[in-house]
Amino acid sequence: MKRLVGQALVLVLIAGCAQAGDVQVDDVWARTSASMQDAGAVYMTISGGDEADSLIGVRVGSDVAARAEMHESMMMEGDDEGGMMQMHAVESILVEANAETKLEPGGYHVMLQQLAEPLVDGAEFTLTLTFQNAGDIDVTVEVREG
Amino acid sequence: MIRTRIARLALTALIAGMMVTGACAAEDLTLAGMVRDPLPSVGTVSLPDASQGGTEFATIAEEGHILVLYFGYTNCPDVCPTTMADLRRAVATLGDDATKIDVAMVSVDPARDDGERLTAYIQSFFSDGHSLRTDDPARLEEAAFAFGAAYEVTETEDGNIDVAHSAFLYAIDPAGYIQVQWPFGMTSEDIASDLEQLLRRLT
């Protein structure tokens, strides 16, 4: 019996090791939203695995928002001093091998459209990220005032 | 179209460049934000304030106060709330002086931002925030022009509404001058330090 447990433990450890070279997602958060606010944003840090990968899809339950999309905010070209910013949808976000890719304010983010209800401080919800190689990864989003 | 993603480092360099300009324009202040020369005068601009039943709101600070104004829209999930949260953090560090900072947001997307929505949005950050909107495009343009702000609302082929807008926070004094403006990405510490200096000069 003891030996079985030991073997099981080894298996668990091996399984754990197999994850080490994979994509990892941390610090996933969304800013609180005002009442009647339609859109929200989710930020996170993606640590690349041993091989480059791409985030190619995002989705949330309809109890959170009607749609989730990948977006990027940026300064308009040629208008650095005018401080004009815009946002557009992107098809994918490259996750380089063994490097951190940040989804952060003013850059890439997951845009939630038509929020079902306001995002309140301390709430949590599940976001499914689809990577080209790593497949689907469910992450827990923590709502904060930010 | 070629577009550049905001690199915080590049922005920091840009701001550092602006700081030099700022330091020259106002000898007694060391402002982190951008100081224009000459200081733009916006005290005669006014827009209907939805948070006050649509009464006209002049973009000028009360005596002893600073009015911080922003052009944005509520369907903006990233840049606008990040800016408002940074400003809120900055104001919160001012202690008793926090009551001397008034905040107003002008919607550049009035077709989608009705008064109630805009008021709820700004007041989720500042409980006394003013929500300025007009259905008259000429009035909005005129106001934006006075501030040197730009905006563009376009509908994409797939029916999405894309909004581009100047993402500055403008700090206006009781004489109606924009004393300083902060670009997106300015830290709340820098905003707080600028506000403190501006308030000190008023007293």
ipTM at complex level: 0.82
Q: Which residue among B3, B78, B150 places its CB closest to the CB of A109? A: B78
Lowest mean pLDDT among B29-33, B80-84, B133-137: B29-33
pLDDT band at B33 (very low <50, low <70, confident <90, very high): very high
- CA distance, residue A21 to nearest chain B CA (Å): 28
pLDDT band at A11 (very low <50, low <70, confident <90, very high): very low
Assign B67 to helix, strand or coil: strand
How many CA atoms lie less than 13 Å away from B139 in the CB half-sphere? 16
> Is the pLDDT confidence value at B13 over 50?
no
Separation between Cα atoms, residue A101 and residue A23, nearest integer Å: 10
Q: Do residues B18 and A83 lie in contact, with contact meaning Cβ atoms separated by under 8 Å? A: no
pLDDT band at B14 (very low <50, low <70, confident <90, very high): very low
More confident residue, B108 or A87: B108
Put simply, the answer to whether B78 touches A145 (Cβ < 8 Å) is no
User: For A86-104, how does the pLDDT look when each residue is reduced to its tens digit (9 = 90+)?
Assistant: 988 999 999 999 999 999 9
Given CB atoms, is B163 within the 8 Å cutoff of chain A? yes
Probe site for chain B from A33, A36, A112 (most B CB atoms < 10 A): A36
User: For A48-84, how does the pLDDT look when each residue is reduced to its tens digit (9 = 90+)?
Assistant: 999 999 999 999 999 999 999 999 999 887 655 667 8
Given CB atoms, is B9 within the 8 Å cutoff of chain A? no
Put simply, the answer to whether A87 touches B162 (Cβ < 8 Å) is yes
CA-closest candidate to residue A42, choices A112, A107, A124 = A112
> Is the pLDDT confidence value at A14 over 60?
no
User: For B157-203, how does the pLDDT look when each residue is reduced to its tens digit (9 = 90+)?
Assistant: 888 888 999 999 999 999 999 999 999 999 999 999 999 999 999 98
Put simply, the answer to whether A89 touches B8 (Cβ < 8 Å) is no
Put simply, the answer to whether B120 touches A35 (Cβ < 8 Å) is yes
Please tell me the pTM assigned to this model.
0.85
Beta-carbon contacts below 8 Å between A and B = 114
> Is the pLDDT confidence value at B83 over 80?
yes
- The one-character DSSP state at A18 is H
